[in-house]
A and B are shown apart, each in its own frame.
Chain A
Amino acid sequence: MSHAFLEVSGLSKVYPTKDGNDLTVYEGVDFTLEKGEFVCIIGHSGCGKSTILNTLAGLDEPTAGAVVMNGKEVRGPSLQRGVVFQNYSLLPWMSALGNVEFGVRARWPDWSKSKVRDHSAHFLEMVGLKQALHRKPSELSGGMRQRVSIARAFATQPDLLLLDEPFGALDALTRGVIQQELMKIWSETQQTAFMITHDVDEAILLSDRIFLMSNGPNAAIAEAVTVDIPRPRQRTTIFQQPGYYQLRNYLVDFLVNRSEDKPDLQSGAPNAVNPLVDQPPETTTAAGGADVNNPQLAVNH
């Protein structure tokens, strides 16, 4: 087996409880990420997505198992893995530029002041914040704050970018715009990205593969769904791509009907699925009319 860029093997998280019945959030999770890949992970609350992401970041210790990146085991946080937190985690006493410079200075301590500044300003311009360099986070909207956070993560040019539900707190319009910006900056920098989301459309738009997690406790990554939709993708037109709704329905069906089931896995690796190939499109147009909010889908919940 060749070495992937990132290998996760036998990852478990167990929280001891007072009554002695340990709570196993997830166990035996195996997966790999290839260099330059964009992977989203979807699952219901409490399945341990954030814990997996924090473990990849090195902020959380796994109970068992290991994360190996570029042939080296992950022990503690590192600048090689940039994190975009859900609540932005900007330092409120610094300007937008100051926050990005904070990251850049940590990454390249021997850079001159002007080089740090130019580099940071460049990444803020990439996310459309040229006009707001000197504003404090409290003077920025939620969407602008998250852009600063994304600029900070990309500016340090980590090998792996970890995004913990970055758009969860944003309104739908802002979310769409920033998704598009994230895709642009990602395709320009060719970084590897691992992102948590609750939004099926967002996952399809951004991902090469989507990991589907079964419900906790004892959660696992049940399936790794390939997104066979050509890039570049546009938020406004992606739903016209053949197979879009078929893929979408497959994901929604998993979340609504199948996430309760314990997955049948050999080892801990998720079953690789490509809904567009495995199940040839039957009635794409009919399925295309179906909506996630269709009550028929939710009936079995």
Chain B
Amino acid sequence: MIASMPLRAAILSVVMAVVLLGAWELAVEQPEQSGAMSEYEMLMGGADQEARVPPPSDVFTHAWNELSDPFYDKGPNDKGIGIQLAYSLYRVLAGYIMAAIIAIPVGFLVGMSPLMYNALNPFIQVLRPISPLAWMPLALFIIQDSETSAIFVIFICSIWPMLINTAFGVANVRQDWVNVARTHELSHLRTAFQVILPAAAPTILTGMRISIGIAWLVIVAAEMLVGGTGIGYYVWNEWNNLDLNSVIFSIIMIGCVGMLLDLALAKAQKLVEYDE
């Protein structure tokens, strides 16, 4: 019997992973010890001085060690991956939620009123393409706090997709549905909550999903700049420590957390979706 599509896809995924990791493992094989140690090597106590990308087996061992104790804290230079990710998640969620609190109501108003739409459009079009990190110096100067500045950068980068999508979703609610509300004498507030919000919800959630993706991209760069804590700082700090095992491990963790954030928003999107 032929296996189902998801099963076949899963098998193929595993095969590809094995081939890829195997190739990596072989490509970075430890250079053979060439004869006796040099004087320098002797001086360094024969420490691991190899300048090479670690093989996946090393990364996995390292990952296992890190993940088995993710929340240890041994001072500013040595914190568990869980703590670093928690800092980053806190910043992302704080900035993102503040952006949602502002973007969705404002987007609603902009979508409801063609006048507001046209009046605000030039501002949005100019502000939207600015790289969020470009705000960083200004934020640091005005806010005078690196932690809050990082949150501000997340706020400013996640506000635009939510604002634009909310306005678009609200402006494009089918006139028929608005007419249903009108013929049932619904107040403006009830129309907004009972008809326009559910009708525009899938578009709004799409905007929120784009925003969380961008926010997670930006936090890594922002934390490299502000330093101190967070997964972005961790990557850069481990690079300074020349610990490529940790760098690769944290890259993978960034990917996994980003995927989980996207999955959560996708779930939320499913809840408000409807078929016409």
Q: Which residues on A are within 8 Å of B, measured CB to CB?
A: 57-59, 76-79, 81-83, 85, 87, 89, 91-93, 102-103, 106-107, 136-138, 156
Contacts and interface: CB of A to CB of B under 8 A. Distances in A.
Query: Which secondary structure characterizes the binding site on chain A?
Result: loop
27 contacts: A57-B183, A59-B179, A76-B182, A77-B179, A77-B182, A78-B183, A79-B183, A79-B184, A79-B185, A81-B183, A82-B183, A83-B183, A85-B176, A85-B179, A87-B176, A89-B179, A91-B177, A92-B274, A93-B198, A93-B201, A93-B272, A102-B180, A107-B184, A136-B274, A137-B276, A138-B275, A138-B276
A241 B171 CA distance: 52
A257 to B, nearest CB: 36
Contact of A103 (B179, B184, B198, B201): B184
Given A81-B183, A93-B201, A93-B272, 17 more contacts: A58-B182, A59-B179, A77-B179, A77-B182, A77-B183, A79-B183, A83-B179, A85-B179, A89-B177, A91-B180, A91-B199, A92-B276, A93-B199, A93-B274, A107-B184, A137-B276, A138-B275
A238 B28 CA distance: 89
Interface in B174-217: 176-177, 179-180, 182-186, 194-195, 198-199, 201
Contacts of A91: 177, 180, 195, 198-199
User: Top 4 closest A-B pairs, CB basis?
Assistant: A138-B275, A106-B184, A93-B274, A89-B176
Contacts of A107: 184
A59 B182 contact: yes
Nearest to B185: A79
Interface of B: 176-177, 179-180, 182-186, 194-195, 198-199, 201, 272, 274-276
Nearest to A89: B176
Contacts of A59: 179, 182-183
Nearest to A138: B275
Nearest to B202: A93
A278 to B, nearest CB: 38
A79 B199 CA distance: 22
A194 to B, nearest CB: 14
A58 to B, nearest CB: 8
B274 A138 contact: yes
B276 A89 contact: no
A156 B184 contact: yes
A79 B275 CA distance: 28
Contact of B185 (A89, A102, A106, A138): A106
Which of B184, B185, B275 is most buried by chain A, counting CB atoms within 10 A of its CB? B184
Contacts of B199: 91, 93
A81 B185 CA distance: 10
Contacts of A83: 179, 183
A138 B275 CA distance: 6
A103 B185 CA distance: 10
Given A77-B185, A106-B184, A106-B185, A92 B275 contact: yes
A59 B274 CA distance: 26
Nearest to A162: B183
A113 to B, nearest CB: 16
Contacts of A138: 274-276
A103 B195 CA distance: 12
A33 to B, nearest CB: 18
Contacts of A82: 183
Nearest to A149: B180
Contacts of B180: 85, 89, 91, 102
A83 B186 CA distance: 15
Nearest to A79: B185
Given A85-B176, A91-B177, A136 B275 contact: yes
Contacts of B195: 91
B82 to A, nearest CB: 39
Contacts of A137: 276
Nearest to A139: B275
Nearest to A85: B176
A67 B120 CA distance: 39
Contacts of B275: 92, 136, 138
A29 to B, nearest CB: 22
A158 to B, nearest CB: 9
